Chain A
């Protein structure tokens, strides 16, 4: 970790908020000298203007003050998230947040339990599904956000769905943002420069990159394995979440599955048939740890959790004081 980051962390501890899990926005992690850029407006939609931020970030990297080149962190498009039903960091007790808390827990436990000399690293998680439209990207982003709210997890969300790149799109990145494919094509890639820090301190992004015709081959190459390895070892508590293409529709997912240590398989309720799930899971037999999540469950159809959420927090007895919402 760089010295600047250490300083920022100590700043955090000094504030000592009662809700230790969530660091609310805006987190003062910006190291950009430009104050205008440092505090972007709230409530903006995830759209084109963020490209400017990136560009600014890129430019800024050239002249950051006292730290290595660090672009301006990407502001999470919270309103867009809210409209899409994605976890909003300022609503830690929403239904979706609660649901993903239970989803991430076993995965984190598995990471904790993992032997050190295993070939594949348990902290590399692939998120996939049978076919498109089941909510892989949705799940990947939610998982990333949920895990990023952990106290000591560093989460890197990789957009491995190189055909659609919807994860980056949701965050507001353009399709030509430098990313995974670019890194794979470069001979000696500068990985850190491709990673995009968001305004959640624990969360980074690696977009898909410039579209290429040989995406599948690139993903299957040795370079990808090396990259994944490097990414997984970036920090001590690093978690790499790879949003991959559908398992049954492409071959890349199989390839990625070979490199990861955990797979979160998304199944859409009332949509995916039994056979498809069976086929897909059959393809994943090589992966060590596969877990399922049932997405798009109607409250009254299946019984999901069924026992309600928000225990204790609806009657305002012990609500934390001065929660700022936006």
Chain B
């Protein structure tokens, strides 16, 4: 501990040795520093808070990007999207910042400077509320710039949005018209086709193969029927022949016999088909029984009748002949029918190639038409929804940008903090002085005590002799010290004066800034007006009258 104290004392004495150098350096640094600080310009920062609908602003940019950037990325994008060169140029124009710049290069520099002094920052978690800040040495200019920037945002975006929706609508209309044309075309094509391929188009019975099946079965059925009818006719013809032959072969006496035989045969034939209860069967039996009865009774009475007469008189024969003609007619009918059906089948078979093709084409036309119709319907729907959204957008206020806090410039300048800087200059001066003194003492060290001398040289020290000063010398020493202290005091005094002056000057600056700002409060926003009136002037708003904005 003692060593530490000794070292401390030693250091202090070393600095004291070079006190004049330290003082001079401190003075130099302080004076230069204070002059520099005094020449610094005050800067004011105007700030406003706005609400930005980030999604809508970024939508055109991010339309085709599948991965959405995170909040920070979006904030950066917003900044770049809003602080574009056209916007900045318009800003410069609006605020007359370029009133003394002629060259292109000057304008470029101004724009760069503007961009660097403007800041658009968002809250950390929330990317919807942004703070616009601008720094300038003139508070009114700063405020004007921020106000103009916000105006530019709002105006630009209203315009953009309207344009967008307009173009979308036009596009939709064009598309719809085109589709309608195509639809009409398709319809006409379809109807033409249908017209041209009447027979081949599928009817209610079914498609081609079904039709072929039906026709074939009809042919088969009709063929069967024809066969039956043919058989019947043949059978009847045979019976007729048989009867005839029987009549011609048998004698007169046996004419009746042969007639009975004929009837018997006919009965047999009938019986193959009908039962006993059939009227024809019963009739024939009666006839047969009658004949037999008459045969016995009237045998040989009318034998002079000719065979033909007999035939003609023979009921059986006549019936048979009727039946035969009926059967023939039926056969002919059925034959015709079969032929007809067969022709139909043949025709169908002929068109076996073309009908499916037609059917396929018809299907395609149908499909095309269907597609067109669906698309058309979709477009119509879309146009409707676009119109609806546009109407909605017009009715509701555009919420892409909204001012939360209007531009405000505090009357106290944001930078530089001259008070702090002045104090820092003083500290720097003192530090530099002391540092230099220390450095010098380290470069040229001397001995203060016997012990260090002995240690350093290794030579025995016989003793140390105190400093003796005569009165003159003592006075001189005192005088020097007093001078030194007075100069140091002077420096401190200057520092105090400068600080006080700075405070006073700051107050002055605030007052003048406030006076400058007073008439510039814009009356665009009713909320703002309300707020100002109530806070600054203590006026309470009793009633607000809504008027139009013109």
Contacts A102-B463, A277-B447 given; indicate if A270 touches B457 (C-beta within 8 A): no
Say yes or no: B447 contacts A304, CB within 8 Å. no
Q: Is the CB of B449 within 8 A of A302?
A: yes
- Please provide the chain A residues from 241 to 296 with a CB less than 8 Å away from any CB of chain B in the complex: 264-265, 267, 269-274, 277-278, 281, 290-296
Task: Name, among B446, B447, B452, B468, the residue most crowded by chain A CB atoms within 10 Å (CB to CB).
Answer: B447
Chain B residues with Cβ below 8 Å from A273 are 444-446
Q: List 20 A-B contacts (CB under 8 A).
A: A84-B470, A103-B463, A267-B453, A269-B447, A269-B464, A270-B448, A274-B447, A274-B456, A277-B447, A291-B459, A292-B459, A293-B464, A293-B465, A295-B467, A298-B466, A302-B447, A302-B451, A302-B452, A304-B466, A305-B450
Given A85-B470, A297-B467, A302-B452 in contact, is the A272-B461 Cβ separation under 8 Å?
no
In the complex, which residues of chain B have a beta carbon less than 8 angstroms from the beta carbon of A83? 470
B94 at the interface (CB under 8 A from A): no
- Chain B residues contacting A296 (CB-CB under 8 Å) are 465-467
- Most chain B beta-carbon contacts within 10 A, residue among A103, A264, A292: A292
- Bound form: Cα–Cα A84–B473 in Å: 11
A279, B152: Cα distance in complex, Å: 80
B467 vs chain A, min Cβ distance (A) = 4
Which B residues form the contact surface with A (CB < 8 A)? Answer: 9, 13, 17, 444-454, 456-457, 459-470
Minimum C-beta distance from B238 to chain A (A)? 168
Report whether over half of chain B's contact residues are helix, strand or loop; otherwise say mixed. Answer: mixed
Contacts of B9 in A (CB 8 A): 301
Chain A residue, CB-CB nearest to B9: A301
CA distance A305 to B446 in the complex (A): 18
The answer to whether B462 and A103 touch across the interface, beta carbons within 8 angstroms, is yes
In the docked arrangement, what's the CA distance between A96 and B453, Å?
A: 20
Q: Which of B446, B447, B449 contacts A303 (CB 8 A)?
A: B449
| Interchain CB contact under 8 A, B464 and A302 | yes
For the residues of A in contact with B, the DSSP-based class is mixed
Q: Find out whether the CB atom of B470 lies under 8 angstroms from the CB atom of A294.
A: no
Report the minimal beta-carbon distance from B291 to chain A, rounded to whole angstroms.
Answer: 184
- Select one of B13, B447, B468, B469 contacting A267, CB under 8 A: B447
- Complex CA gap A106/B460 in Å reads 10
CB neighbours (8 Å) of B450 from chain A are 294, 297, 302-305
In the complex, chain A residues 114-170 whose Cβ is within 8 Å of any chain B Cβ: 135, 139, 142
CB contacts (< 8 Å) of A274 on chain B: these are: 445-447, 456
Bound together, the chains give a CA A186 to CA B263 distance in angstroms of: 217
Complex Cα gap A139–B468 (Å): 12
Which one, A84, A95, A277, A301, contacts B448 given CB within 8 A? A301
A156 to B164, CA, bound (A): 118
Q: How many A-B residue pairs have CB under 8 A?
A: 125
Q: Flag whether A107 is at the interface (Cβ < 8 A).
A: yes
Contacts of B17 in A (CB 8 A): 270
Q: A83-B470, A96-B466, A301-B13 are in contact. List 16 more A-B contacts (CB 8 A).
A: A85-B469, A99-B465, A100-B463, A102-B463, A264-B462, A270-B13, A273-B446, A274-B445, A274-B447, A274-B456, A296-B466, A297-B467, A299-B467, A302-B452, A303-B450, A305-B464
For the complex, give the distance between the alpha carbons of A301 and B467 in Å. 11
Contacts of A299 in B (CB 8 A): 466-467
CB within 8 A of A292: which of B13, B453, B469?
B453
Query: Contact at A272–B462, with CB atoms within 8 Å?
Result: no
Q: Separation in Å of the A120 CB from the closest CB of chain B?
A: 18
Partner of A293 from B448, B462, B468 at Cβ < 8 Å: B462
* Minimal beta-carbon separation of A161 from chain B (angstroms): 19
Q: Quote the shortest CB–CB distance from A231 to chain B (angstroms).
A: 23
Interface, chain A (partner B; CB < 8 A):
83-85, 95-96, 99-100, 102-107, 135, 139, 142, 264-265, 267, 269-274, 277-278, 281, 290-299, 301-305
Task: Find B449's partner among A100, A139, A264, A304 (CB 8 Å cutoff).
Answer: A304
10 shortest interchain CB distances as A-B pairs: A302-B449, A85-B468, A294-B464, A304-B464, A302-B448, A103-B463, A296-B467, A102-B463, A103-B462, A292-B461
Within the assembled complex, what's the spacing in Å between the Cα atoms of A299 and B465? 10
Do A281 and B457 touch (CB < 8 A)? yes
Minimal beta-carbon separation of A18 from chain B (angstroms): 27
Closest Cβ of chain A: how far from B18's Cβ, in Å? 11
The one of A270, A291, A294 that contacts B465, using a Cβ cutoff of 8 Å: A294
CB atoms of B449 and A297 under 8 A apart: yes
**Which residues from chain A contact B462 at a C-beta distance below 8 Å?**
102-107, 264, 291-293
Q: Is the CB of A297 within 8 A of B466?
A: yes
Give the complex CA separation of A95 and B151 in angstroms.
90
Asked if A292 contacts B460 (CB within 8 A), the reply is yes
Smallest Cβ distance from A51 to chain B, in angstroms? 24
Cβ contact within 8 Å between B470 and A271: no
Q: Report B343 CB to chain A, min CB distance, Å.
A: 143
With both beta carbons as reference points, the residue of chain B lying nearest to A302 in the complex is identified as B449
Q: A302-B447, A302-B448 are in contact. Are A297 and B459 (CB under 8 A)?
A: no
Are B445 and A95 touching (Cβ within 8 A)? Answer: no
Question: Which residues of A are found within 8 Å of B460, using beta-carbon distances?
Answer: 106, 291-292
Complex Cα distance A240/B447, Å? 29
Closest Cβ of chain A: how far from B297's Cβ, in Å?
A: 193
Contacts of B452 in A (CB 8 A): 302
CB within 8 Å for A293 and B463 given contacts A270-B448, A271-B446, A303-B451: yes
